[in-house]
Structure 1
């Protein structure tokens, strides 16, 4: 009897959920969201300035690797980031935005990161808008690394594209790193 009541409850829930999902699947006019027919392809170049050292570190470990996997790759570690994006390769260059998010060490054998970040712009026409990027970043790869642009906010709603990453410098003692980002993004 109890199993039958649970089955009926589940059945009713599925009917309600399915009808709600169908109700929400209405098409809308792109103009109602201020979307133009044509998309713009933009290219942005900026420099990621990650600081591991000092009182103003921009990358902090929030989950340490499990001792079983305590390898040089730090498999399983998670870092939160709030990294300055500058107009030039030097840390003293003008800050034009921030990269905010997390990355996870996703390999047991090499430093291969799963990155999820919002690229938030502080300057110019795109002030307050952001681009969301994610993907695999094998940081010691000899080829250019790529992240997928999967969306954004403000001027970058419905954005798609990719970001190319090239390490410009890395201090072996502090691990502070500068990475050139070339972001190619379609947006309205």
Structure 2
């Protein structure tokens, strides 16, 4: 069995700030989420929805998709209507393509999601996403995301070398 051990001082810690816009469309002719489990309980406990929400670099007509928020949200409380999100923000733009942020937290109009990991350029990310509904529409909404995280950059690690 081969393995490498490196002193922590060789890791380069970086900080990132992004200001992005997530489009959450649950209705209409082109939704970007779908119900996959519906136990039909009165409180909707256990309902599970899979999502592939586009994330844009702006909110104007010239906006560009830079990432996708791909994962699930689950009705996770029996006594009240409370949803939890678990997803990856997978970057598609040229600069960060293939990198991701792993995110989790409650579904609320204004609040926070935790960044609990990352891959690629954002490996081992930890941070927070402050989110708020920027625009509520009949078939969904647009969320404004302020992303702040710390991550380790530098050369990729290798095992068994």
Instruction: Provide TM-score, normalisation by structure 1.
Output: 0.71
Question: Which structure has the highest helix share of the two?
Answer: 1
- Bigger Cα Rg: 1
Cα 1:48–1:110 change in 2 (3 A) is: farther
Q: 1:177 aligns with which of 124, 141, 144?
A: 141
Partner of 1:104: 74
Give me the whole-angstrom Cα distance separating, in 2, the residues matched to 1:165 and 1:110: 22
**Structure 2 partner of 1:13:** none
1:142-185 CA distances to partner (integer Å, 9 max, x unpaired)? xx4111111111011111111111111222x32x1111111111
Rounded Cα–Cα distance in structure 2 between residues aligned with 1:183 and 1:78:
26
Q: Provide structure 1 residue ranges, at least 5 long, that are not aligned to the other structure.
A: 1-22
Structure with more contact order per residue of length (Cα contacts < 8 Å, sep ≥ 6): 2
What's the Cα RMSD here? 2.5
Q: In the alignment, which residue of structure 1 is the partner of 2:11? A: 37
Equivalent position SS for 2:114: strand
Q: Distance in 1 between matches of 2:48 and 2:87?
A: 13
Corresponding residue pairs, total? 152
CA distance in 1, matches of 2:133, 2:97: 26
Distance 1:63 1:126 in 2: 33
Unaligned runs of 5+ in 2: 153-161
